[in-house]
Amino acid sequence: MAKHILYNAVVVINSVTLTDRARKISYKVGTNKQPSAAMSEVQDYSLPGTLFVSPIVIEYYQDYAATNVYITHRTIWDARSSVVLTCKADSAADSATNPNFTITVFIADMSYVEGSRGDVHVNSVTYEPASAISYDVT
């Protein structure tokens, strides 16, 4: 079985590359369950229903410099706008083994300052999906 180490992920939000600031990424998808038991059945069960993308959470090393973590997200949040988020596991070209995931999102919440004394200063941002996800493998 092949093993994959995540060490060079690519994160672009609203055309701003924050790859070198990304510390941790949680990008999950799932399937809603659809109740399927008939009226006369005594046991409930489900079948797969619609697909969904969970809120995407990315933890960044905080940076207050221009065109970096804080100002990029603050601008999006202030404008209450939806923007394009792209993410892939490696900086290599898009391919079947390195798909580029693209989705329109808005900022559900973010932290300005987070941590304890002596910690690495990180900023956690939660992106709420505002469109269907697309996969680019070319």
What pLDDT is recorded for position 71? Answer: 93
CA–CA separation, 10 vs 109, rounded Å?
21
pLDDT digits (tens, 9 = 90+) for 72-113: 999 999 999 999 999 999 999 999 989 999 999 999 999 988
| pTM, full prediction | 0.87
What pLDDT is recorded for position 4? Answer: 73
Q: Max alpha carbon distance in the chain (Å)?
A: 64
**Chain centroid to CA 74: how far?**
17
Between CA 127 and CA 81, with CA 58 as vertex, the angle to 5 degrees is 30
pLDDT digits (tens, 9 = 90+) for 116-133: 899 899 999 999 999 999
- Report domain extents, the chain: 17-34+53-136
What pLDDT is recorded for position 115? Answer: 84
Q: Is the pLDDT of residue 66 over 90?
A: no
